[in-house]
Amino acid sequence: MSEPALLEVRALDVHFSVRGPGLLPSRLTLRAVDQVSFDVRAGEVLGVVGESGCGKSTLSRALLKLIPATGGSVRLRGVELTTLPKAAMRPLRRSMQMIFQDPLASLDPRMTVGEIIAEPMKALLPAMGRVEREQRVLRTMQQVGLLPAQINRYPHEFSGGQAQRIGIARALVVEPQLVICDEPVSALDVSIKSQIINLLLDLRAEHGLTYIFVAHDLATVRHIADRVMVLYLGRVMEITDRDALYARPLHPYTRLLLSAVPIPDPALARRRRVAPAREELPSPLALPSGCAFRTRCPLADARCVAERPVLREIDGRYVACHHAEAAAA
Amino acid sequence: MAASLLEIRNLAVRFTTGDGPVYAVNDLDLEVRRGEVLGMVGESGSGKSQTWLAIMGLLAKNGRAEGSVRLGGEEILNLPQRALTRLRGERMAMIFQDPMTAMNPFLTVGRQMTEVLEWHRGMSRREARARCIGALESVHITDAARRLSMYPHEFSGGMRQRVMIATALLTEPQLLICDEPTTALDVTVQAQILALLDELRQRFGTAIVLVTHDLGVIAQLADRVIVMYAGRQVEQAEVHTLYGAYRHPYTEGLLRSVPRLDQPRSARLATIPGRPPDLARRPAGCPFEPRCAYASEICRRQMPPLVSLGDAHLRACHYDGALGPQERGA
Amino acid sequence: MNGDARHTWANWVPGRGAARKAEALAAGAVQGRSLWQDAWGRLRCNRAALASLWVLGVITLAAIVVPWVWPYGYAQPDWNLMYAAPTWAGWHIFGTDALGRDLFVRVMWGCRISLMVGVVATLVTLVIGVTWGAVAGFAGGWVDSLMMRIVDILYSLPFIPFVIVLMVLFGRDLFLIFVAIGAVSWLDIARIVRGQTLSLRKREFVEAALASGVGNAAIVRRHIVPNLIGIVVVYVTLTIPSVILFEAFLSFLGLGVQAPLTSLGGLVSDGAAVLQSHPYMLIIPASFLAVIVYCFNFIGDGLRDALDPKDR
Ligand SMILES: Nc1ncnc2c1ncn2[C@@H]1O[C@H](COP(=O)(O)OP(=O)(O)OP(=O)(O)O)[C@@H](O)[C@H]1O
Ligand SMILES: Nc1ncnc2c1ncn2[C@@H]1O[C@H](COP(=O)(O)OP(=O)(O)OP(=O)(O)O)[C@@H](O)[C@H]1O
Ligand code: SF4
Ligand code: SF4
Ligand SMILES: [Mg+2]
Ligand SMILES: [Mg+2]
């Protein structure tokens, strides 16, 4: 592990100022991403999971500077991004691209497939000629399983799975190193989901890509990720290698998530019958003191109320819980 | 074997569109028995929702339903509007994927719930309120009395779905149709809602139809399962049979392409190649043929009929040999 | 020349072009097309819009050419020939008016003036309105608030007195009429465009473009404006006729173009006064007005459909 990380994120904060309730609203701070630190190594797939609203999309967008970070640092191969001016950021975008959740909404309805895929090249490789650009579009289309004849079609003429292939082609056409996938398969059909996951895995093998793969579905993440980061209300709960996480989750929240994943096997599903989570997600505007998870945690005690657990290392895994050792036992 | 509550015969739903007809549901035959949970799975656009919307009389204007649907022996398909309204209030209820769209954002939850009872049961406001509090408590909403005066947007997604379920149960329907009740929810909340549905079924004996594309959800709750493809029923079986000894290639494809936590991780996911069918076209043969690994000449020419394999197991497929993974299993 | 015998009328088949295009596609000779090329192809298939384009083209051409070549001028009276019904004699094919002026040349002048007022005022409207609205919507924040407050203030100014004051101060100048009409009608389009831009800016495809490194100017040009076009085009085709009608209304009030020059609106109002005795004085200019207004509507519909890839 001597090789430096491709992306280093340290104590990243993204806070939104939102209107409070009432007639004379005060401004409240919504901590969508709160003190998040992690590394992404070159060539790996980092899965990011958590419930809806826990800041997965906000984190993805902040890494790409689509939303300004309110604090902390993001370094891409040692270059600090958070303070980088817009013009200097542009060339770096070639190495970081994004795939979006809603395949159709992320494609301009008035552009043809060819124009959509060519757009990042126009922006990032202005020196490239028209002919070369077009050839590269066609090549990329073939790589993601689109037919060259479809180059003049409009997005609405495609099914969700094909539209997502267009989105993938657009991300890959500038040959990035890091691709941030924000729930790329959540909106897709069961039978199409697996096609896209396999495609992402193939492309990674072919081009040596690094992914940050965001999902709310732990079963999918297990399939694609090498390491998994679990977020809860904007905070990191656990970062662990895939096999260790699924074999023996240390954090009580990870265990809650895992136990809630439905299993497509009636005998097992009925035998399992877990007690569902106690409470619902607290409002992100009024986070609990101490550990954010304590309102739903079966192990919570006085220390969890008083003291916010820091992310610490246990057997090569990172966990933010006071009682992780007890949980593991 | 329990008596059948709802009998569907030859149900067909079609839509007239600018580009010609869309055959959303074709030749559907099935029944729902008293007190059971009937699961219905299939990809997006396979006609799951339209089946039940047709039965509830809630099809879009350009849609038409044909065939016969009997509830407790009484024909209910295409009833006049008045009779349908009564039926919907008293004997069948339906809940949807997005509870927000089914609620009026400008009325308190209490008002929306008591209205149902005042209208269908002729209760006084007072009585109705008491009943509503009871109903909210039965779906585990704490502090029910206070919640009645809150507006839908003040509830979380999971709570809204509970409120919908409570509202649906107010008139003690015999049949509760849940169209993707947990698709918009987090897994943790989904687990709560599924546990709730299971509990309600046991307590009140309500028959539940569970429509979803998630095989995990079905496995958790359903007694019998119907697999839909291209507006047709391709397989129907008791839940353990369906997951353990399915006999349709599409069911196999679905089951194998789901990433799952209970099995060792495989390097690649199995997929169903190709893409979902276009319902505007009606192939002469099996609609799954372009994507099917077991397809033969006859599949292209002739629509496979739904035939019984015994033991309440039905399927529509010409292929008689063994399906892939079953050779390896028990 | 003779070598290429395939392209004769004898073996011409309808739809051949499309077939050849499909062939080219199938042969792998794929070439990227843009929205504009596609839109033009689709517009050409819209009969009503195409016919309207032709009609409007002919009227415009006539309005430009006829006043040059016609034996009469628009202000040339013939005291012996007042209120003559349409006749071939002396080429008064549309008849003459109260002062014996040739109505045909006056109608052509009227078309010229009305089209000019309509098109120029609408262009002014468009340029100011779209820029204002798009900038406000895309910039957001206090810039947006400030710009929209200005619009609100202008909205509250009473318009007719404003025009009268302008006329009184600067005289009845054609140019001024354009400016006056344009300066007022851009408010609507600015609001519409701003609303659209605001919602477009939050759309995921704009975010996707930002993530691809596309700059602000290019985003406005490539994503915002093309997605505004549907609504703007509809608005324009509604504005041109309404500006023409508005000018007619001003003429009716005596605030339009200075006599003896005239516009379609002025002719219609002249004709309306003598409808009982000389109906042709109303019917002819009114028909031209109606045809022009309809043409713009058809072209607008056609353009909107052509620019919407979802519409087949
Ligand atoms: N522009 C914004 N202004 C204010 N609050 C925001 C903004 N964007 C996101 N939030 C809030 O930040 C939190 C995290 O949102 P985010 O979209 O990142 O969640 P997510 O994990 O991606 O959820 P999902 O699974 O639903 O996509 C939410 O509480 C959300 O309401
Ligand atoms: N109003 C309509 N006009 C035309 N076609 C329609 C209409 N409503 C539905 N359809 C078509 O009917 C088919 C079946 O739709 P249905 O809503 O039953 O699918 P579903 O199985 O519920 O899918 P999902 O999982 O996406 O909810 C679809 O192909 C759909 O396009
Ligand atoms: S710190 Fe306490 S409340 Fe938080 S997860 Fe650990 S045991 Fe539970
Ligand atoms: S009938 Fe033929 S094509 Fe259809 S599912 Fe069976 S084997 Fe496949
Ligand atoms: Mg998200
Ligand atoms: Mg549905």
Does C293 have pLDDT greater than 70? yes
| pLDDT of res. C76 | 78
* Cβ contact A112:A152 at 8 Å: yes
Does A80 have pLDDT greater than 70? yes
Min distance B266 CA to chain A CA atoms (Å) = 8
Interchain contact, A261 vs B216, CB within 8 Å: yes
CA dihedral sign of residues C99, C101, C104, C109:
negative
pLDDT digits (tens, 9 = 90+) for C79-134: 777 777 777 777 777 878 777 788 888 889 889 888 888 888 888 888 888 888 98
CATH top class, domain B4-102+175-315: alpha beta
A222 touching B (Cβ < 8 Å) = yes
Interval A274-279 mean pLDDT: 64
| pLDDT of res. B17 | 79
| pLDDT of res. C167 | 74
Question: Using CA atoms, how far apart are residues C69 and C87, in angstroms rounded to an integer?
Answer: 19
| pLDDT of res. B329 | 36
The closest-lying atom of ligand 1 relative to the alpha carbon of residue A51 is: 25
Interchain contact, B269 vs A51, CB within 8 Å: no
Question: Using CA atoms, how far apart are residues C97 and C86, in angstroms rounded to an integer?
Answer: 10
Q: Shortest CA distance to A112 belongs to which of A52, A175, A170? A: A170
Question: Using CA atoms, how far apart are residues B272 and A225, in angstroms rounded to an integer?
Answer: 22
Residue C98, CA distances (Å) to A92, A224, C84, C85, C278 in order: 76, 87, 9, 11, 10
Interval A184-210 mean pLDDT: 90
Residue A285, CA distances (Å) to A19, C22, C80 in order: 10, 57, 88
Give the least confident one: A25-39, A48-62, A278-292: A278-292
Highest mean pLDDT, choosing among A158-167, B148-157, B239-248, C10-19: B239-248
A125 touching C (Cβ < 8 Å) = no
Give the CB-side neighbour count of residue C64, counting CA atoms within 13 A. 6
State the average pLDDT for chain C. Answer: 78
A154 touching C (Cβ < 8 Å) = yes
* Cβ contact B220:B204 at 8 Å: no
Give the least confident one: B27-31, B295-299, C245-249: C245-249
pLDDT confidence of C75, banded at 50, 70, 90?
confident
The closest-lying atom of ligand 4 relative to the alpha carbon of residue B286 is: 4
Q: List, in order of start, the domains of chain A with CATH numbers.
A: 5-95+176-274 (3.40.50.300)
| pLDDT of res. C24 | 39
Enumerate residues 6+ apart whose C-beta is below 8 A from B90: B120, B171, B173
* Cβ contact C95:C87 at 8 Å: yes
Interval A248-263 mean pLDDT: 91
Q: Which amino acid is at C235?
A: Y
Interval C156-176 mean pLDDT: 76
Please give the CATH architecture assigned to the domain spanning C36-311: Orthogonal Bundle (1.10)
Structure tokens at C80: 């012996």
Does B66 have pLDDT greater than 60? yes
pLDDT confidence of B89, banded at 50, 70, 90?
confident
Structure tokens at C309: 């890839």
Min distance B121 CA to chain A CA atoms (Å) = 33
Question: Using CA atoms, how far apart are residues B246 and B294, in angstroms rounded to an integer?
Answer: 14
Determine if ligand 2 sits within 6 Å of the CB of residue B54: no
pLDDT confidence of C30, banded at 50, 70, 90?
low
| Nearest ligand for residue B24 CA | 2
| pLDDT of res. A274 | 63
**Of A158, A183, A190, which to mutate for an interface test with B (greatest number of B Cβ within 10 Å)?**
A190
Determine if ligand 3 sits within 6 Å of the CB of residue A292: no
Highest mean pLDDT, choosing among A141-150, B49-58, C261-270: B49-58
Question: Using CA atoms, how far apart are residues A17 and A31, in angstroms rounded to an integer?
Answer: 9
Interval B51-67 mean pLDDT: 92
High-pLDDT (> 90) share of chain A, %: 63
Question: Using CA atoms, how far apart are residues A179 and B290, in angstroms rounded to an integer?
Answer: 33
Does C308 have pLDDT greater than 80? no
* Neighboring chain B residues of A201 at a CB cutoff of 8 Å: 268
Residue A162, CA distances (Å) to A153, A165, A199, B119 in order: 12, 5, 12, 48
CA dihedral sign of residues C28, C31, C34, C36:
negative
Nearest CB among A51, A193, A198 relative to B188 is that of A51
pLDDT confidence of A329, banded at 50, 70, 90?
low
| pLDDT of res. C77 | 77
| pLDDT of res. A37 | 95
Residue C277, CA distances (Å) to B253, C79, C80, C271, C273 in order: 84, 18, 18, 10, 9
State the average pLDDT for chain B. Answer: 89
Give the least confident one: A105-109, B267-271, C176-180: C176-180
High-pLDDT (> 70) share of chain A, %: 95
Does A15 have pLDDT greater than 50? yes
Interchain contact, A263 vs B276, CB within 8 Å: no
DSSP, res C223:
I
| pLDDT of res. C31 | 59
Residue-wise over B113-152: b if at least 16 C-beta within 10 A, else e? bbbbbeeeeebeeeebbebbbebbebbebeebeebbeebb
Structure tokens at A217: 């579905």
Q: Shortest CA distance to C303 belongs to which of C17, C134, C52? A: C52
DSSP, res A140:
H
Interface partners of chain C (CB pairs < 8 Å, 3 or more) are A
Does A168 have pLDDT greater than 90? yes
Of A231, A251, A299, the residue with max ligand 3 atoms within 8 A of its CB, to mutate for a pocket test, comes to A299
Enumerate residues 6+ apart whose C-beta is below 8 A from B80: none
Interface partners of chain B (CB pairs < 8 Å, 3 or more) are A
Bond into C260 cis (ω within 30): yes
Structure tokens at C250: 């001003």
| pLDDT of res. A65 | 92
List the residue whose alpha carbon is closest to atom 6 of ligand 2.
B15
| pLDDT of res. A277 | 60
Determine if ligand 2 sits within 6 Å of the CB of residue B232: no
Does C217 have pLDDT greater than 50? yes
- Residue B216 sits at φ, ψ, to 5 deg, of -65, -40
Ligand 2 center to B24 CA (angstroms): 6
- Residue B241 sits at φ, ψ, to 5 deg, of -65, -45
Interchain contact, B159 vs A280, CB within 8 Å: yes
The sheet carrying B224-229 orders its strands as B92-95, B175-179, B207-211, B37-41, B224-229, B232-238, B314-315, B307-308
Give the least confident one: A145-154, B125-134, C236-245: C236-245
| pLDDT of res. A324 | 87
Interval B175-197 mean pLDDT: 89
The sheet carrying B4-17 orders its strands as B20-33, B4-17, B63-71, B74-75
* Cβ contact A266:A64 at 8 Å: no
| pLDDT of res. C16 | 35
Does C70 have pLDDT greater than 70? yes
**Of B147, B246, B257, which to mutate for an interface test with A (greatest number of A Cβ within 10 Å)?**
B257
pLDDT digits (tens, 9 = 90+) for B263-284: 888 878 888 888 788 888 888 8
| pLDDT of res. A227 | 96
* Cβ contact A31:A13 at 8 Å: yes
Element at B111 (helix H, strand E): helix B109-121
Determine if ligand 1 sits within 6 Å of the CB of residue A214: no
Does B203 have pLDDT greater than 50? yes
pLDDT digits (tens, 9 = 90+) for A81-97: 999 998 889 889 999 99
High-pLDDT (> 70) share of chain B, %: 98
* Cβ contact B210:B39 at 8 Å: yes
Q: Return contacts of A321-326, CB within 8 angstroms, 24+ apart.
A: A321/A237, A321/A238, A321/A250, A321/A251, A321/A252, A321/A291, A322/A291, A323/A252, A323/A299, A324/A250, A324/A251, A326/A299
pLDDT confidence of C8, banded at 50, 70, 90?
very low
pLDDT: is C36 or A31 the higher one?
Answer: A31
ipTM rounded to 2 decimals: 0.85
Residue with tokens 């990172």: A318
| pLDDT of res. C18 | 39
Question: Using CA atoms, how far apart are residues A65 and A7, in angstroms rounded to an integer?
Answer: 14
Ligand 3 center to A321 CA (angstroms): 5
| pLDDT of res. A208 | 92
Q: 3-state class of C272 per DSSP?
A: helix
State the average pLDDT for chain A. Answer: 90
Strand ranges (E), C46-198: none
Residue with tokens 């209300």: A233
